[in-house]
């Protein structure tokens, strides 16, 4: 077999197979109800949102497990005030204390991301 032909075939197959995974927006599970928003994903190339109605004095436990890629995370109230922003968020655990009763939008945007993000109201 001609070595140049073999190298060209390997190169073409690498490019062709790499393009397939790029088109996947979400591969994982999504749970959202009145007390939690949980994303567990092998691939996240899209924005997922969920709204929680929270009371002042509520505590939201946050867990971010980023295995790869980029995760941008935000939590905002109905007036657009941010109570948390994580641009290219790192793995970690923390609690958000809610000081004002309102509806809050939890937004997670991934770029070639793999991991898990959870928001659970105590």
Query: Is residue 15 one of the residues assigned to a domain?
Result: no
Q: Convert the pLDDT of each residue in 69-84 to its tens digit.
A: 999 999 999 999 999 9
Query: Is residue 6 one of the residues assigned to a domain?
Result: no
- 106 has pLDDT over 50: yes
pLDDT at 116: 98
Query: Is residue 75 one of the residues assigned to a domain?
Result: yes
- Measured CA to CA, the distance from residue 65 to residue 99 in angstroms comes to 26
- Structural domain tally of the chain? 1
pTM score, whole prediction: 0.80
- Measured CA to CA, the distance from residue 35 to residue 15 in angstroms comes to 43
- Measured CA to CA, the distance from residue 64 to residue 74 in angstroms comes to 12
- The CATH code of the domain that includes 88 is 2.60.120.380
Query: Is residue 7 one of the residues assigned to a domain?
Result: no
Q: Convert the pLDDT of each residue in 22-72 to its tens digit.
A: 579 999 999 999 999 999 999 999 999 999 999 999 999 999 999 999 999
- 9 has pLDDT over 60: no
Query: Is residue 33 one of the residues assigned to a domain?
Result: yes
Query: For residue 98, what are the domain limits?
Result: 24-121
CA atoms within 13 A on the CB side of 63: 11
């Amino acid at each position: 077999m001609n070595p140049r032909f073999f190298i060209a075939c390997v190169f073409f197959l690498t490019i062709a197979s790499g393009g397939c995974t790029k088109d996947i927006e979400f591969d994982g599970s999504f749970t959202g109800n009145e007390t939690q928003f949980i994303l567990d994903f092998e691939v996240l190339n899209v924005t997922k949102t969920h709204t929680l109605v929270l009371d002042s004095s509520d505590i939201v436990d946050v867990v971010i497990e980023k295995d790869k890629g980029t995760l941008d995370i935000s939590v905002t109230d109905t007036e657009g005030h941010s109570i948390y922003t994580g641009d290219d968020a790192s793995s970690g655990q923390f609690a958000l204390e809610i000081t004002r009763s309102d509806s809050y939008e939890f937004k997670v945007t991934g770029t070639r991301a793999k991991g898990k993000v959870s928001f659970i109201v105590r």
